[in-house]
Amino acid sequence: MLSFVLRRLLQAVLVLLTISFASFMIQGKLGDPVRQMVGTSVSVEQREALRDELGLNDPTLVQYGRFLGQALQGDLGTSYYYKESTLTVIANRLPATLELSFCALVLVIVMATPLGVFAAINPKNWLSRSILLFSTLGLSIPIFIVAVFLMYFFAIEWRLLPSFGRGDTTQVLGLWQSGLFNKDGLMHLLLPSVSLAFVMTPIFIRLIRAEMIDVLQSDYIRFAWSKGISAPRIYFIHALKNTMLPVITVGGIQTGTLIAYTILTESIFQWPGMGFLFMDAVTRVDAPLISAYLIVVGLIFVVTNTLVDVVYGLVNPRVRIPGYSA
Amino acid sequence: MSLLSVNHLNVVFRQRHQDLQALFDVSFSVSRGERLAIVGESGAGKSILGYSLVNLLSKPGVIDSGSVKFDGRELTTLTARQWQEIRGKKIAMIFQDPMITLNPVLSVGDQMVEAIRSHTRINYNDAKKLAIEKLAHVRISSPAQRFEQYPHELSGGMRQRVIIAIVLLLRPEIIIADEPTTALDVTIQAGILQLLKQVCEDNGVALILITHDFGVVSRIAERTIVMYAGRIVEQGPTLEIINDPQHPYTQGLLNALPQMALPGQRLNQIQGNMPALNNHPSGCAFHPRCPYATDKCRENTPGFVFSGVSTVACFAIEDMLAEFDPEGGWQGEVEDE
């Protein structure tokens, strides 16, 4: 068990090192920090002196080492625009993005599982065919169209839901600005999370359906039928558990896609999260903020996939590492 | 009265353009506690017959006509709900490959307890006690520990024992075993067969053993049915069929056993292959491979005759029998000595 955890940690560290190096390189290519600091009215000699002082003339690897050292102490640089530690800026926006992604994920699971299972159990049913058709359409409609349509009908035509922003938030445990605990916040959350879920659901419907159809043809399912077990138990205990194994893995990888889609969703709905912040940072060429965002997102991705591996181990007894030798 | 009686069973696979018939007019019966073997090459329809008895044919296979009666009750018209009560409880099934018959993500215990609890009102602990007893009954070492384990932690032979234990839990009246030892190591096969035979004897359970191996048949079954291309071609007492096979196909099968060949000699085989479902020969389906085939065999399907040893569907046997005078006495040509 210990060696399993250590191996996972080593992998995570390697991935994060790669991401940090990439974002460090990006930072170096985005504009000149000296110019950002002193403007144009300073002589070339003075600038050179400043560059030396800031260590910008050191070899790239030395600079990267310094960057890494600071990063390990929780310092990912100072945002040009906010004049604040980039981590603080991101941490302020993190709850909004996490809540949006979490709600979208819950919606995806709640929609994709029953629809995928139904389509697998009744492959010839007209409803299954419509589910499949819907999921093909869903796969090919980009999120900004879905989001704009939803916004048009629910916010503008029918005036049922707010079209932008996060609404009221409440302080949770003194460290989290949450929109989940009051009506206004939830109303604001609805359209963005539905849009985000809408683009993620089709792929999971198709995945669950395809896996489940395979599983239902296996011998152990036929044996379960031959024992006289009830249909719901066969579908939801025997088959679904096996179906979910590959789905969990793909789910972990799809967090990457989910984060990418939050950038779009947040921009459309003016959602004050990390994605929105990132778009702003890009337009302002706020290099430290861009690279800090990349590192934080990389961290989220790595942590999620490590958790997914742990969950996979819980569901699949074959990968469980025995604590005792048999 | 027989426990299970199958009459004129026809199974077809419904296809868009044509129906492919897999079983033709199959009739046989099994008495309480009897052990019956169904023998034939791959593609003879043995497994399809097995599955059709518990209504687990894979789609698009359906019972087209005929009847299956269990204890006098017609099974072909049952609803899904009624089937649930028959399966496992009355008719149980053991599959070919124990490595894939148990659900990999559920523990042995879960798979045993759920079987009991879906047929009987019983609390978990009592069900667990029963399950561990059954594991011991099929001679699995440290059954309490096995109960907690997952299938991948057990060997193939052990898994087949677990499966037999699961099947016994519900005290079925018939067990259908579809090639239960084919996927196992030769050294383990004998043990599993012995166990299967013994548990059936101990509990008075009837056994339908589906196999391609006459060696297995002789050790277990009292009666044997030989199938070819979806039809029964011969049935009778096992010993007599083995000692004096009547149908040319049965003769071929027995002749193909390794012990029939001399050391160093090529093994005997029946020339040709089992016909595919969409390429069913006319007349007697065996005629393209039969050394005794005549024009009659190519055009007509033989009915059953009793040869004195077994019931056979073969014109050659029929003709031979016809040469007997019903009054007795040999009417055929007598060879000069």
Share of chain A above pLDDT 90, in %: 42
pTM score, whole prediction? 0.83
Structure confidence at residue A324 (pLDDT):
36
Structure confidence at residue B101 (pLDDT):
94
Average per-residue pLDDT in chain A? 87
Smallest Cβ–Cβ distance between A229 and the set B92, B118, B163 belongs to B118
Which residue, chain included where needed, has tokens 């003879």? B44
pLDDT for A258-280, tens place per residue? 988 999 999 999 999 999 999 99
What residue spans define the domains of chain A? 94-316
Residue A13 has pLDDT above 80, yes or no: yes
CB atoms within 10 A of CB A320: 15
Query: Cβ distance A90 to A274 under 8 Å?
Result: yes
Q: Is A174 an interface residue toward B (CB < 8 Å)?
A: no
pLDDT for A69-128, tens place per residue? 888 888 888 888 888 899 999 999 999 999 999 999 999 999 999 999 999 999 889 999
- Chain A residues touching residue B150 (CB < 8 angstroms): 317-318
Provide mean pLDDT across the span A146-173: 86
Structure confidence at residue B326 (pLDDT):
57
Smallest Cβ–Cβ distance between B95 and the set A219, A233, A315 belongs to A219
Smallest Cβ–Cβ distance between B166 and the set A225, A227, A242 belongs to A227
CB atoms within 10 A of CB A49: 12
Q: Which residue has the higher pLDDT, A256 or A202?
A: A202
Q: Which residue has the higher pLDDT, B207 or B270?
A: B207
Q: Which residue has the higher pLDDT, B192 or A326?
A: B192
Residue B58 has pLDDT above 70, yes or no: yes
Q: Do A226 and B100 touch (CB under 8 A)?
A: no
- Predicted ipTM of the assembly: 0.89
Q: Least CA distance to A223: which residue of chain B? A: B101
Provide mean pLDDT across the span A301-318: 84
Residue A3 neighbours by CB under 8 Å, 6+ apart: none
Q: Which residue has the higher pLDDT, A172 or B286?
A: B286
Provide mean pLDDT across the span A196-204: 92
Residue A204 has pLDDT above 90, yes or no: yes
Q: What is the CATH number of domain A94-316?
A: 1.10.3720.10
Provide mean pLDDT across the span B71-80: 92
Residue B167 has pLDDT above 90, yes or no: yes
Smallest Cβ–Cβ distance between B84 and the set A218, A223, A228 belongs to A228
Q: Do B95 and A222 touch (CB under 8 A)?
A: yes
Q: Which of A216, A226, A247, A324 should one mutate to test binding to chain B, selecting the residue with the greatest count of B CBs within 10 A?
A: A226
* Confidence label for B173 from pLDDT (cuts 50, 70 and 90): very high
Distance CA A168, CA B301 (A): 84
* Confidence label for B327 from pLDDT (cuts 50, 70 and 90): low
Q: Tokens representing B95?
A: 């599959």
Q: Do A229 and B88 touch (CB under 8 A)?
A: yes
Q: Tokens representing B85?
A: 């009560």
Q: Do A220 and B118 touch (CB under 8 A)?
A: no
Distance from CA of B238 to the nearest CA of A (A): 28
What are B12's strand-pairing partners?
Answer: B21, B62
Residue B138 has pLDDT above 80, yes or no: yes
Distance CA B161, CA B192 (A): 7
Average per-residue pLDDT in chain B? 90
* Confidence label for A12 from pLDDT (cuts 50, 70 and 90): confident
Structure confidence at residue B256 (pLDDT):
87
Q: Least CA distance to A244: which residue of chain B? A: B105
Q: Is A322 an interface residue toward B (CB < 8 Å)?
A: no
CA dist A61 to A30, A68, A78, B32, B46, Å? 18, 10, 21, 84, 72
Structure confidence at residue A109 (pLDDT):
93
Structure confidence at residue A323 (pLDDT):
45
Distance CA A41, CA B135 (A): 89
